[in-house]
Amino acid sequence: MEAGILNEFRAIVGASGLITEREELSTYECDGLTMFRVLPLAVLLPTSTEQVQAIMRVCHREKIPFVARGSGTGLSGGALPVANGIVISLTRMNRILDVDLTNQRVIVEPGVMNLNVTARVASDGYFFAPDPSSQQVCSIGGNVAENSGGAHCLKYGFTTTHVLGLEVVLPDGSLVHLGGQTLDHPGYDLLGVFVGSEGTLGIATKVILRVMKKPEVIQVLLAAFNSTNEAGAAVSGIIAAGMLPAAIEMMDNLAIQAAEAAVHANYPNCGGLLLVELDGPAPEVETLMEEVADVCTKCGAWEIHVAQSDAERARVWKGRKAAFAAVGRISPAYIVQDGVIPRTALPQVMSEVVRLSSEVGLRVANVFHAGDGNLHPLVLYDDSVPGQDKLAEKLAGDILRLCIKAGGSITGEHGVGQEKKMFMAEMFAEPDLETMQLVRCAFDPENLSNPEKIFPRPRLCGERPGVYEPHPLEIAGVAERF
Amino acid sequence: MPAETGVTTHVSWPELAEIVGKEHLSAADTTDAIDGVAPQMVAEPGTDEDLARALRWAHGAGLKVAPRGGGTKLGWGNPPASCDLVLSTSRLNSCLEHAWADMTVIVEAGCRVGDLQKALAEHGQRLALDPLWPERATIGGILSTNDSGTLRVRYGSLRDLIIGITVALPDGTLAKSGGKVVKNVAGYDLAKLFTGALGTLGVIVQAIFRLHPLPRESRSLSFSGTLESLNQLLLTIQASKLTPTGLQLQAEQGSAQLDIRFDGTAAGIQAQVKQVQQIAGSVPGADAPASVWASHQAIWGGAVPALVSKFSVLPAQFAAVCAQVERVAEAQSLAWKVVGQSVGAGYARLEGNEQALRTALLTMRDQVARMGGTMVGLGCPVAVKRGLDVWGPPSDAQSLMVRVKQRFDPDRTLNPGRFLGGI
């Protein structure tokens, strides 16, 4: 990078806010998905919105691509740097700016950790609902970029449900406010488009969050089944009975073994474990918990246990939330996958996964947000065996294709990022992707903001999808376009 | 944006008749006019492909198009700069797939909300939304106007319920976003972009929603008192562990009431009712009929001319908004009424003469803006709208919104002038 531009950056963020040494840059070469690594030209650590604006103005003028980064816990390579660009790290913008519990609003900078929001309001009985498993370390800015979910989004929704407003620096350095403290702002819902756009539309520098009152009672039921199919049938039974639990999680035997090895959650050793959390008024939870237990028994559960204390509930959840990392205890290497299927397709997709996994000879551990059909298959492999990483990658990809075939999605909460952009063309048709590009071109016509992510093929915003020209066959009435 | 020049000469309507079928293209009459702007023709395509082709044809012919569902909210927004063709979704009215075990539904844009709810109820489910005039309003219409009702207190608004969308763009592209699974972050969320866009970016032809179970039991109560005491009660309830599915404040000259609804199991409801009565203390309360939850619709009826504006403020500002409305109404000698949901959004109705209504709208809007909220003049005579933007002043995101419009509809084919800032 030219010395003049570096000096300009240094003048904006100060010497301590600019990283250019190779060794230090390597900290930023990947996010939670370590299979992709790219060294950026520089990393900038702004401390204010004005600094972010100044940086982006320089980038815009010089056509330097940039990638925003929070805590770097993303699992799809969304914060992977671009080789000819810079990384803008928001970790120093980590202040909670305002807490208004009367109206249930909290305003934060993007570098604030997810769990710190709840920590700040917990003593008053409030919580921030989105709870990705990485919530102890992941940032709100990253949650906004990825539209992060978590176990409790079955009932409470995703990050997008709980973000009411954003201050955003657009790729040309200008500042806009999307949404706000109040609902239904007149105009297009650009807030809704921005949340989950994986850093491709600009950088959020302030986030208005909604916090919620903690329910009166929270109970977790553990049910042990012989198979994930039986457990899956219980999930359908619970839903069919007209209940909306706060969370329904499922783990298969391999995932249970891993979690036990790592955090000793005291899970029963079974083929399919179901974790059902209900919350709400005490008499309501009591009634419904009995119904849940009945459904589970009817579907073949041979052990049912309701966590009795907060400590026990916390331990149950710890096992589930540690499941990804825990797999490291039973396998030298693994790929975390994130697909979604209609819940009813679970038995059929699971048996296909078993078939594929035995064909390839690799084990797959399964952790599901079963209530909303979000699968997290963990493909286990040995990276010291030549070629096994490629096999694992292919198996993980084939599982995604199963999800698409079942009418589901290639990602429920980890994002497309770098990892899955080629699958976008399998999930969506070309006109769908072209239409999404119209949004990107409105926000970022120069394609500077986290370029090369989400979409399988970069497209110049100058290109307009051509005015429709009828094919000679259409004119002749032989064929139709639709 | 430049004024529209309606290109209405040399239009070959038979070409459009060929696309949608002769019997589904008819000359417009006075009932098809939008704020007095009369279209020439009304087309009712029978498939989403035909709708896209019709739209592409109209775009190619330089016509201005107004998409229409049930036509219940055609008066919302600014008067169109021009309108040649109404593109009706009335024949795209099927509920295509109710995957009840997955709690999702795929539905065509022209399906009436009431019809959809009836179909969903067969499996004990619902779209957890109670928009205006459900017997006539269509899915495409409520999406385009971002209509909602009393259930949003618990279940959010359309942006929280829609999980997939198919739209037709002016160039004839049919594009999808989202899908039929509730949890899905693949690609941009165009469903949210089109929700509330008033048909200015494309025509919604299909939508996919997440569903909720119908409540097992339901009970409502109303409390009466002064506006300030009820606003305080509302905040206390919000800060409690109660989980109402409706919490609504109503006020008019000399009276105010707070309505609360609990859904769930009988035991859960009973316990919550007991708690809310304890919280309310000396504020008098009694069981209320379910019809109390139609107040947000009832406020649209009454003496004319009238102005119904939608406001959005913080929950703690309800009493202040009502006081502002009352003050302005009294200054202009207007009758007034307010119905709002505890999330901070509601309607204010004023009745009186047009000049006074117009003055009142401008004054109230300024005052609400000073409180950090917004106010939109949704329902009013055209005379009130003239010379002002019913959506209010544009924000710092206006030029970005214009750029979005330019990408999707560069020739301003769809509903020109009806949206914020002349979009």
Whichever domain contains B284, its CATH number is 3.30.70.260
Q: Are residues B243 and B283 in the same domain?
A: yes
Is B235 at the interface with chain A, CB within 8 A?
Answer: yes
Is B258 a member of any domain?
yes
Decide if A286 and B267 are in contact by the 8 Å CB cutoff: yes
Is B397 a member of any domain?
no
Q: How far apart are CA A338 and CA A368, in angstroms?
A: 9
Q: Are residues B185 and B206 in the same domain?
A: yes
Range of the domain at B336: 297-385
Round the average pLDDT of chain A to a whole number and report it: 92
Is B238 at the interface with chain A, CB within 8 A?
Answer: yes
Is A455 a member of any domain?
no
Q: Give the CATH number for residue A245.
A: 3.30.70.2190
Q: Are residues B229 and B303 in the same domain?
A: no
Q: Are residues A341 and A410 in the same domain?
A: yes
| Nearest Cβ partner for A193 among B52, B193, B267 | B193
pLDDT at A462: 67
Instruction: In chain A, count H helices and then E strands.
Output: 18, 19
Using a CB-CB cut-off of 8 Å, the residues of chain A touching B237 are: none
Beta-bridge partners for B157: none
- Looking at B34-121, which runs of residues are DSSP E strands? 41-43, 65-68, 85-88, 95-99, 104-108
Q: Are residues A193 and A85 in the same domain?
A: no
Last residue of a domain, one of A63, A89, A115: A89
pLDDT tens, residue by residue, A204-261: 999 999 999 999 999 999 999 999 999 999 998 998 888 889 999 999 999 999 998 8
pLDDT at A469: 45
Is B420 at the interface with chain A, CB within 8 A?
Answer: yes
Is A176 at the interface with chain B, CB within 8 A?
Answer: yes
Is B418 a member of any domain?
no
Q: Is the pLDDT of residue B310 over 50?
A: yes
Last residue of a domain, one of B48, B73, B90: B90
Measure in Å the smallest separation between the Cα of B268 and chain A Cα atoms. Answer: 4
Is A466 a member of any domain?
no
Structural element, H or E, at residue A116: helix A114-121
Cα–Cα–Cα angle for A204, A208, A212, nearest 5°?
A: 140
Q: Which residue of B has its CA nearest to A414?
A: B185
Q: Are residues A179 and A100 in the same domain?
A: yes
Is A425 a member of any domain?
no
pLDDT at A308: 81
Q: Which of A182, A278, A288 to mutate against chain B (most B CBs within 10 Å)? A: A182
Q: Are residues B99 and B175 in the same domain?
A: yes
Is B415 a member of any domain?
no
- Please provide the size of chain A in residues: 482
Q: Which residue of A has its CA nearest to B190?
A: A193
Does residue A275 contact residue A221 with C-beta atoms inside 8 Å? yes
pLDDT at B8: 52
Q: Give the CATH number for residue A191.
A: 3.30.465.10
Q: Are residues B209 and B221 in the same domain?
A: no
Using a CB-CB cut-off of 8 Å, the residues of chain A touching B345 are: 182-184
Q: Are residues A359 and A306 in the same domain?
A: no
The candidate with the shortest Cα–Cα distance to A252, out of A112, A353, A341, is A353
Q: Are residues A174 and A115 in the same domain?
A: yes
Using a CB-CB cut-off of 8 Å, the residues of chain B touching A281 are: 241-243, 264, 268, 271-272
Average pLDDT for B12-28? 97
Is B369 at the interface with chain A, CB within 8 A?
Answer: no
State which residues of chain A have pLDDT below 70. Answer: 458-459, 462-482
pLDDT tens, residue by residue, B250-305: 999 999 999 999 999 999 999 999 999 999 999 999 999 999 999 999 999 999 99
pLDDT at A266: 87
Within a 10 A sphere around the Cβ of A470, how many other Cβ atoms? 10
Is A348 a member of any domain?
yes
- Looking at B149-216, which runs of residues are DSSP E strands? 162-168, 174-178, 203-210, 212-213
Is B154 at the interface with chain A, CB within 8 A?
Answer: no
Q: Which of B51, B157, B185 to mutate against chain A (most A CBs within 10 Å)? A: B185
pLDDT tens, residue by residue, B353-404: 999 999 999 999 999 999 999 999 999 999 999 989 999 999 999 999 999 9
Measure in Å the smallest separation between the Cα of A204 and chain B Cα atoms. Answer: 14
Q: Give the CATH number for residue B28.
A: 3.30.43.10
Q: How far apart are CA B233 and CA B277, in angstroms?
A: 11
Q: Are residues A136 and A234 in the same domain?
A: no
pLDDT at A481: 36
Q: Which of B51, B177, B183, B193 to mutate against chain A (most A CBs within 10 Å)? A: B183
| Nearest Cβ partner for A439 among B188, B196, B264 | B188
Cβ contacts of B81 within 8 Å, gap of 6 or more: B3, B4, B64, B416, B417, B422
Q: Is the pLDDT of residue B191 over 70?
A: yes
Is B414 a member of any domain?
no
- Say which DSSP state B112 is in: B
Using a CB-CB cut-off of 8 Å, the residues of chain A touching B342 are: none
Is B304 at the interface with chain A, CB within 8 A?
Answer: no
Last residue of a domain, one of A372, A387, A419: A419
Q: Are residues B191 and B248 in the same domain?
A: no
Last residue of a domain, one of B213, B248, B265: B213
Is A453 at the interface with chain B, CB within 8 A?
Answer: no
Measure in Å the smallest separation between the Cα of A55 and chain B Cα atoms. Answer: 20
Last residue of a domain, one of B90, B124, B157: B90
Last residue of a domain, one of A310, A329, A348: A329
Measure in Å the smallest separation between the Cα of B29 and chain A Cα atoms. Answer: 30
Pick from A114-128, A309-323, B112-126, B331-345: least confident: A309-323
Q: Which residue of B has its CA nearest to A233?
A: B101
Measure in Å the smallest separation between the Cα of B241 and chain A Cα atoms. Answer: 5
Q: Which residue of A has its CA nearest to B215?
A: A242
Q: Are residues A78 and A110 in the same domain?
A: no
Range of the domain at A160: 96-213
Within a 10 A sphere around the Cβ of A36, how many other Cβ atoms? 15
Q: Are residues A314 and A342 in the same domain?
A: no
Using a CB-CB cut-off of 8 Å, the residues of chain B touching A158 are: 183, 185
Rg (CA), chain A: 24
Is A472 a member of any domain?
no
Decide if B392 and A213 are in contact by the 8 Å CB cutoff: no
Q: Are residues A325 and A337 in the same domain?
A: no
Is A50 a member of any domain?
yes
pLDDT at A470: 46
Measure in Å the smallest separation between the Cα of B396 and chain A Cα atoms. Answer: 5
Is B214 at the interface with chain A, CB within 8 A?
Answer: yes
Q: Are residues A200 and A251 in the same domain?
A: no
- Structural domain count of chain A: 4
Q: Are residues A301 and A242 in the same domain?
A: yes
Q: How far apart are CA A400 and CA B293, in angstroms?
A: 44
Residue A298 CA, chain-centre distance (Å), reads 34
Q: Are residues B76 and B109 in the same domain?
A: no
pLDDT tens, residue by residue, B202-241: 999 999 999 999 999 999 999 999 999 999 999 999 999 9
pLDDT at B314: 97
| Nearest Cβ partner for A342 among B181, B313, B343 | B181
Q: Are residues A322 and A365 in the same domain?
A: no
Is A439 a member of any domain?
no
Average pLDDT for B158-163? 97
Is B407 a member of any domain?
no
What was the ipTM of the complex prediction? 0.96
Q: Which residue of B has its CA nearest to A169?
A: B397
Using a CB-CB cut-off of 8 Å, the residues of chain A touching B208 are: none
Using a CB-CB cut-off of 8 Å, the residues of chain B touching A344 are: 99, 101-102
pLDDT at A468: 42
| Nearest Cβ partner for A407 among B180, B265, B406 | B180
Q: Which two tokens stand for residue A254?
A: 């391999």
pLDDT at A35: 86
Is B410 a member of any domain?
no
Q: Are residues B301 and B380 in the same domain?
A: yes
Q: How far apart are CA B56 and CA B167, in angstroms?
A: 13
Q: Which residue of A has its CA nearest to B184?
A: A412
Q: Are residues B176 and B208 in the same domain?
A: yes
Between strands B306-312 and A126-127, the pairing is unpaired
Is B86 a member of any domain?
yes
How many Cα neighbours within 13 Å face the side chain of A16? 2
Using a CB-CB cut-off of 8 Å, the residues of chain A touching B96 are: none
Using a CB-CB cut-off of 8 Å, the residues of chain A touching B310 are: 184
Using a CB-CB cut-off of 8 Å, the residues of chain A touching B397 are: 176-178, 187, 190
pLDDT at B10: 79
Is A14 at the interface with chain B, CB within 8 A?
Answer: no
Per-residue HEC secondary structure of A214-281 comes to: CCCEEEEEEEEECCHHHHHHHHHHHHHCCCCCCEEEEEEHHHHHHHHHHHCCCCCCCCEEEEEEEEEC
Q: Is the pLDDT of residue B335 over 80?
A: yes
Q: Are residues B116 and B204 in the same domain?
A: yes
- Token pair 């708690």 in the structure block, residue: B275
pLDDT at B291: 96
- Structural domain count of chain B: 4
Q: How many CB pairs under 8 A join A and B?
A: 271
Decide if B406 and A442 are in contact by the 8 Å CB cutoff: yes
pLDDT at A478: 45
Is B312 at the interface with chain A, CB within 8 A?
Answer: yes
Q: Are residues B227 and B182 in the same domain?
A: no
Using a CB-CB cut-off of 8 Å, the residues of chain B touching A189 are: 146, 159, 192-193, 195-197
Q: Give the CATH number for residue A7.
A: 3.30.43.10
